[in-house]
Structure 1
């Protein structure tokens, strides 16, 4: 499998990172099994976050005895220096380690810099001096914040959504990271489940020698798929190219990426899934979306109070309330 070096960090791994957000949805025993299997199978980059409920704890329980054999990245959503130190201390305790290889500011609404008044970057730099953090990173869904971070020279890695549904603006961001020697960690390489061919997703990302994809893993079957790519990485073929072109023709444009920054919803609407229902129901077995449970969830769209919280917090500028209504009307046609 091709390897990737994350910019100036010197971290070199297979292009096959483990995204640990989904393991918060499974038991500790199930998570430990997946994490240990991933490590034994050759995965050496694990990405989690303080915000992913018990994900850090599960990694600590499963992999602490193997700590020297893999790279560990986590994130803090803190917006103050005090919150930063609280998060870092909690992360290190739960992960059962004395350091993380990359600590990332988790989708801040601005680019933390020295002297900006928040104290965040100063705290991050101090943590690095103390050896608790080896490298400084940032994640974002806002293109302007991401570009500012890369151009600032303050960050060693950027984590940003990137898949074969990317626009020219995202492609330019990848090129900018390479130019500035900033490691690019690709989240949402399967676009929140809208991309159903991991082989096509992998083959596309393999074209970028500075990009490390992290795959969200919740089931053993998913893990087995990604582990198989270590010894047999998918190459771009005519068949995979056709899948990519078909998906781009169907999915490019106004669609919800499922990032979840619209939540919580006062009307308890499951916005990330409901706003993509028209696409999901056509791209995976429809029966799972037509259960009584999902009919009730979709009906909550009628209870929208018009607060516009979702639209105001969408990093992609979507008219989310209108998108939800359109998806619900389409959904009803499947119930007839």
Structure 2
């Protein structure tokens, strides 16, 4: 396994990391076997979150016997100082560790959230206090909307940035790459397989590793997936022209029905959070996290079946997606 430095943190992380979302759907016994296989393959960077149900707990059960071998990253949607402080404590307790290597502001997706976390009583203040106390070592941010991540990095407060980047969602990322380099922030790539939509795993991961990223964190829920993902980080072979053509052709087939979560479709006149609906639908259809996706869908204040079919979203979508049809299909699946 190859390793790269995670920005200015000084941490050397495996170029293939471990995404902790799919671990929710396996037993503790299975999770233990999967994590040990990852460790055997040289994977040392594990990413989870407060919001991933029992992901922290399952990983923590393994980490208590091999803490020195792993770099733990987790994250919270808390926006206030008190809320983040509480979540940091919960993560420490759930993971069963004395410190967490990287704690991230999770899914900062709009200006209100960005401004709130940077306020004196915002989430960043709690993270800085926890870092001073030694219970977290480094602070990062995650999100899908690149403009807000670029702005956040300009603060100089953040040591890492995590965002989606893959063969489908490659366009428009250069500004964020450049800002991360300027800030000496480590780059963590999530959704490397476009939420499971890209099936040619090896080519997809190698495509990303040709860029100046620190680590890529595909989700894994079986030892076979670990083996397949780890292979891409062992030799760092650039894509041949023929391989690039194969990946381009597969990515092109997703273009008609794939939401990149750019949020140009927002706001919806009916109040539907369209990108979130499609994100949850992806968890339902591609990750097989049906119950988890439906539970979160039920918590949305406005459901997909509230669509009035006005078409404003489709007029604003830069990818010309058939959003009205996609919402109707999502409503059927998630509303069961």
Distance in 2 (CA, whole Å) between partners of 1:150 and 1:241 is: 31
Summarize deviations over 1:1-42 as a string: whole Å, max 9, x none. Answer: 442211110111221100111101111111111012211221
Distance in 2 (CA, whole Å) between partners of 1:114 and 1:305 is: 31
Q: How many residues align?
A: 297
Summarize deviations over 1:75-98 as a string: whole Å, max 9, x none. Answer: 011122221111111110111101
Equivalent residue number for residue 297 of structure 2:
none
- Aligned pairs for 1:123-142 within 5 A: 123-142=126-145
Structure 1 pair 33/307, CA: closer, same or farther in 2 (3 Å)? Answer: farther
Equivalent residue number for residue 168 of structure 1:
171
Distance in 1 (CA, whole Å) between partners of 2:118 and 2:304 is: 44
Summarize deviations over 1:204-227 as a string: whole Å, max 9, x none. Answer: 112123331011001222112123
2:22 is equivalent to residue 8 of structure 1 = no
Distance in 1 (CA, whole Å) between partners of 2:122 and 2:281 is: 38
Contact 1:255–1:276 under 8 Å retained in 2: no
How far off is 1:249 after superposition?
A: 3.0
Distance in 2 (CA, whole Å) between partners of 1:163 and 1:196 is: 12
Distance in 2 (CA, whole Å) between partners of 1:257 and 1:27 is: 31
Equivalent residue number for residue 62 of structure 1:
62
Equivalent residue number for residue 242 of structure 2:
239
Equivalent residue number for residue 256 of structure 1:
259
- For structure 2, the residue ranges without an aligned partner over 5 or more in a row are 263-267, 289-302
Equivalent residue number for residue 217 of structure 1:
220
- For structure 1, the residue ranges without an aligned partner over 5 or more in a row are 282-287, 289-301, 332-336
Equivalent residue number for residue 202 of structure 1:
205
Equivalent residue number for residue 185 of structure 1:
188
How far off is 1:131 after superposition?
A: 0.2
- Greater shift, 216-225 or 245-254, is seen at 245-254
Q: 1:322 pairs with 317, 321, 324, which one?
A: 324
Contact 1:202–1:234 under 8 Å retained in 2: no
Contact 1:19–1:216 under 8 Å retained in 2: yes
Equivalent residue number for residue 46 of structure 1:
46
Distance in 1 (CA, whole Å) between partners of 2:173 and 2:80 is: 29
How far off is 1:57 after superposition?
A: 0.3
Q: CA RMSD in A?
A: 3.5
TM-score by length of 1: 0.77
Distance in 1 (CA, whole Å) between partners of 2:82 and 2:180 is: 30
Distance in 2 (CA, whole Å) between partners of 1:159 and 1:208 is: 14
Equivalent residue number for residue 104 of structure 1:
104
Contact 1:46–1:72 under 8 Å retained in 2: yes
SS in 1 for 2:64: helix
Contact 1:60–1:95 under 8 Å retained in 2: yes
Structure 1 pair 237/88, CA: closer, same or farther in 2 (3 Å)? Answer: same
How far off is 1:74 after superposition?
A: 0.3
Summarize deviations over 1:110-134 as a string: whole Å, max 9, x none. Answer: 3257862543221111000000110
Structure 1 pair 238/167, CA: closer, same or farther in 2 (3 Å)? Answer: closer
Distance in 2 (CA, whole Å) between partners of 1:115 and 1:34 is: 37
Summarize deviations over 1:49-83 as a string: whole Å, max 9, x none. Answer: 00000000001111211101110000011122221
How far off is 1:253 after superposition?
A: 6.5
Distance in 2 (CA, whole Å) between partners of 1:5 and 1:164 is: 23
Distance in 2 (CA, whole Å) between partners of 1:73 and 1:4 is: 16
Structure 1 pair 60/212, CA: closer, same or farther in 2 (3 Å)? Answer: same
